[in-house]
Amino acid sequence: MPTIKDVAKLAGVSVATVSRVLNDSGYVNLETRQRVEQAISELNYRPNNVARSLFNGRSQMIALLVPDIMNPYFPELARAVEDFTKQNDYTFVLCNTDDDLEKEMHYIYALQQKSVDGIIIVSSKISEERLNEVSIPIVALDRIVSTKISSITVNNREGARQAVKYLKAKGCKRIAHICGPENVSNSKERLSGYMDEVKNEGWLLSSYVVSGDYQYETAMDATKRLLTNHPEIDGIFVANDLMGVAALKATQELGLIVPKDISIIGFDGISLGEQITPSITTMKQPIYEMGTRAAELLIQQINEKSISVQHEQFDVTLIERDSTKKKGGTSFE
């Protein structure tokens, strides 16, 4: 394997000159730079990234921490982050935290020790106190972890309100909600959007809201209990599509027909929702755009240390599929 000394020898320059070319630091005249680049190409030289990071204090690595890699939403998000980081010559590292604070902090400390340049984090557990222990740029994605940390999210409350309004427009008279964890910001916002639309309805019962914890099995059990206790329910707004798939499966096991007996609308817009039968109507997040923007914002923070905290919010879009009633002449506004 060729070394930097081999490159310097072939180009007829010092090791320091090769290093300046590799790190784009300091002046090197055009002719010398071209000789060095030609030598690098001829030898197929690959710089030692560890050595380079020690030289310039940068590893060209960005990490993404997600709470549940088994939820199809997060791989779709990760793909966007990976694509953008690769386009900008960064190495991408994906860490699954199982939504466990100690595991999150273990990853963060380890990444700092390896001189990672920045972290994108999806977390519902980390506190501002623990964030103060982090000395590298961080961007929060999908949920807000602190007002002091830049974030990329969607209009969860308004999107949830639109989802429930849509079910009403489709003729649903008793609408329940399967929510996510109570400590997650986007789950609380979606619950608030649901309540905005139903709080004044005479039919509303507190037991119409059950937690699926953003988990498939939990949501299946919650749906079965909900519909066993309340057979009058004819519409369900589910706080994410993974739970929406679980709710669909649960209704089928109970002998109900979707959408004839009950309509289901989810939230996220993951590809799984359109691959099942019936496909799930959803409030689609611009997942790829969100991941891309989070990576872009993080790289800005890495390169511009004085950049201000930014909280950006994307809109969600109703995607109508087969899990909701289709009645002639009914429209959604």
The yes-or-no verdict on residue 256 having pLDDT over 90 is yes
Residue 231 lies in a domain: yes
Segment holding 215, helix H or strand E: none
Residue 322 lies in a domain: no
Give me the amino acid identity at 179: C
What is the pLDDT of the chain when averaged over all its residues?
91
Range of the domain at 248: 156-284
Q: 48-62, 205-219, 227-241, 244-258: which range is least confident on average?
A: 48-62
CB 229 within 8 A of CB 252: no
Domain total of the chain: 3
Would you state the pLDDT for residue 23?
76
Dihedral sign for Cα atoms in the order 46, 49, 51, 56: positive
Residue 132 lies in a domain: yes
Would you state the pLDDT for residue 49?
56
Q: Does one domain contain both 251 and 109?
A: no
How many angstroms separate the Cα of 321 from the Cα of each of 18, 134, 152, 263, 279? Answer: 58, 43, 27, 11, 6
CB 87 within 8 A of CB 299: no
Would you state the pLDDT for residue 112?
87
Q: Does one domain contain both 295 and 276?
A: no
The CATH number covering residue 103 comes to: 3.40.50.2300
Maximum average pLDDT range among 12-16, 37-41, 51-55, 279-283:
279-283
Residue 329 lies in a domain: no
Distance of CA 31 to the CA centre of its chain: 46
Burial class (CB in 10 A: 0-12, 13-18, 19+), 300: middle
CB 268 within 8 A of CB 286: no
Give the separation between CA 26 and CA 99, rounded to whole angstroms.
44
Give the separation between CA 231 and CA 54, rounded to whole angstroms.
64
Q: Does one domain contain both 277 and 218?
A: yes
Q: Is the pTM of this model over 0.85?
A: no
Helix (H, G, I), strand (E, B) or coil at 177: strand
Predicted confidence (pLDDT) per residue in 258-290, tens digit: 999 999 999 999 999 999 999 999 999 999 999
Rg (CA), the chain: 25
Residue 320 lies in a domain: no
The CATH number covering residue 43 comes to: 1.10.260.40
Q: Does one domain contain both 295 and 229?
A: no
Q: Does one domain contain both 139 and 84?
A: yes
Give the separation between CA 255 and CA 333, rounded to whole angstroms.
32
Give the separation between CA 20 and CA 29, rounded to whole angstroms.
11
HSE, CB side, 13 Å, CA atoms: give it for residue 57: 4
The yes-or-no verdict on residue 16 having pLDDT over 70 is yes
Residue 67 lies in a domain: yes
According to DSSP, residue 208 is labeled G
Give the separation between CA 102 and CA 126, rounded to whole angstroms.
9
Q: Does one domain contain both 130 and 82?
A: yes
Q: Does one domain contain both 107 and 197?
A: no
Q: Does one domain contain both 33 and 101?
A: no
Q: Does one domain contain both 261 and 160?
A: yes
Residue 178 lies in a domain: yes
Would you state the pLDDT for residue 149?
92
Q: Does one domain contain both 132 and 233?
A: no
Predicted confidence (pLDDT) per residue in 172-193, tens digit: 999 999 999 998 999 999 999 9
CB 198 within 8 A of CB 204: yes
Can you state the angle between helices 156-169 and 185-198, rounded to 10 degrees?
Answer: 40
Other beta carbons less than 10 A from residue 333's beta carbon: 6
The yes-or-no verdict on residue 67 having pLDDT over 90 is yes
HSE, CB side, 13 Å, CA atoms: give it for residue 299: 19
Residue 325 lies in a domain: no
